[in-house]
Each structure stands twice: as C-alpha cells, then as structure tokens.
Amino acid sequence: MPGPRDGLRAVLYDWDGTLVDSAEKSYRCYVKVFSTFGIAFDHASYERTYSPDWYQTYVAVNLPRERWPEADALWTRCYEQEPSFLLPGARAALERLARVGTAQGLVSSGEASRVRRELRTHALEGFFGDAVVCGGETERRKPDPEPLLAGLEKLGVGPAEAAYVGDSPEDVAMAKAAGVFAVGVPGGFPNRDGLAAAGPDLFAPTLDAALDGLLPRSS
C-alpha cells in the first residue's frame, strides 16, 4: 500500500508502548499478580506470552478463568501505584500533527478508566477529543478491526484517509483488516520481531520518523 501523504486526514494511535512507556511497569505487575496465584513469571515468560489483549496472557499462563476478575483488580491496583511516563517524542509527535491540522484518535486495548485517567494526567485529551476507543468499549478487541473502525467513525474519516500507529503485530493486523495504512514503531514490549514480521506498510524506528513517512514533504 502506498503511503497516504497528501491524502492523509487522520492518524490514530495505540496507547501502551506507542505513546506511554508501560512495558516494564506492566511486567512488574504481571509478576506480582501471578505470584498471588502461585504462577512463576519472568522476562522469558513475558516474551513468550505477551499480547495487548491481556486475557491472552492469562490463557497462556493457565490462570483459571474464574480468577480473571481478581487478577484484573490486582493488576490495576499494582499499576496505579507507579507513575506513568510518555515515551520520548510522543508529545512532540502529537503537537506536530496538530499544527498541520491532521485529526488524531486513540484506539487502545487498555482498560478504559485507566487509559482515560492517564490521558488526563498527561493533559493529552485535547489532541483526541471524543475520538478515543478503549478495551471493552466495542464488542470485539484487537486484532479485530471493530475498535479502529469505531475510532474512524468518531473522526468522520474513511479508512483510506487514515493511518494507525502501533507497536504490536495485533496493531498491524487490526489496521490491515480495517483497510487503514499500518505503521509499526517498536516500543518496549517484547514483540519487536513479531511487529516486523507482521508486515506494516511503514516500519519506522521512532514516532518522528513515522510522521516523516506519512506527512507531505513540506510539513
């Protein structure tokens, strides 16, 4: 798929690992949560089981389904005990697109109250307005295209006029299924090889480099 450049009207982003630095924080919380259930979890386990849909991780470590709500509550409690930080260049990228008038949206698998709270903490709501779709707000999750299509609908933009930026193979699969230009930017989660193998339309080392590939050359 050719780059959108002059036809680009909107860029939508993943949250964790793309705009916010949550990889190691998430890992520490998994270790703590799974230890409560007597499940050993180390970095090798993290690499083997990681998915932006954390229920896939629960399945991979054989956490009984009836314990999932308890695990969710424990993970959220752990996660809230540490501050979250934006990834380098995240705010600058959002500001760069805002200056040229490109619409922006957020489509995350993360639980809604947590993601929306972090958006407020980092004063980013103004970049996205109502164009925020979080985990659980659509019937199906990534890599199904439904969340991204919901984000496009909020923006009033068609798939051919948009790009989606994410750090996971599931992000790429969702974008392709929705007919959106897929941009892969590696983050801190253990999925870099899988991201490259997923075949994004644009693979960039940083958010700024991704925007260089998306925007008209004069922007």
- Tell me how far CA of residue 113 lies from CA of 76, 118, 127, in angstroms: 10, 9, 18
Residues sharing a CB contact under 8 Å with residue 115, sequence separation 6 or more, in sequence order? 15, 106, 108, 132, 134, 135
Q: Assess whether pLDDT exceeds 80 at residue 179.
A: yes
The pTM is what? 0.89
Q: Is 213 helix (H, G, I), strand (E, B) or coil?
A: helix
Q: Assess whether pLDDT exceeds 80 at residue 217.
A: no
Residue ranges of the domains in the chain? 5-22+85-214, 23-80
Evaluate whether 143 touches 119 at the Cβ level (below 8 Å).
Answer: no
What is the rounded CA–CA span in Å between residue 166 and residue 58? 22
Q: Assess whether pLDDT exceeds 50 at residue 2.
A: no
Helix 90-99 and helix 207-214, axial crossing angle in degrees, nearest 10: 20
Evaluate whether 16 touches 110 at the Cβ level (below 8 Å).
Answer: yes
* pLDDT at site 51: 87
In this prediction, residues 71-90 reach a mean pLDDT of 93
Give the chain's largest Cα–Cα span.
Answer: 56
* pLDDT at site 6: 65
* pLDDT at site 127: 97
Evaluate whether 51 touches 170 at the Cβ level (below 8 Å).
Answer: yes
Evaluate whether 183 touches 205 at the Cβ level (below 8 Å).
Answer: no
* pLDDT at site 216: 72
Torsion angle, alpha carbons of 129, 117, 113, 208, to 10: 60
Architecture of domain 5-22+85-214: 3-Layer(aba) Sandwich (3.40)
Helix (H) or strand (E) holding 182: strand 181-184
In this prediction, residues 160-186 reach a mean pLDDT of 96
Tens-digit pLDDT profile for residues 191-214:
888 999 999 999 999 999 999 999
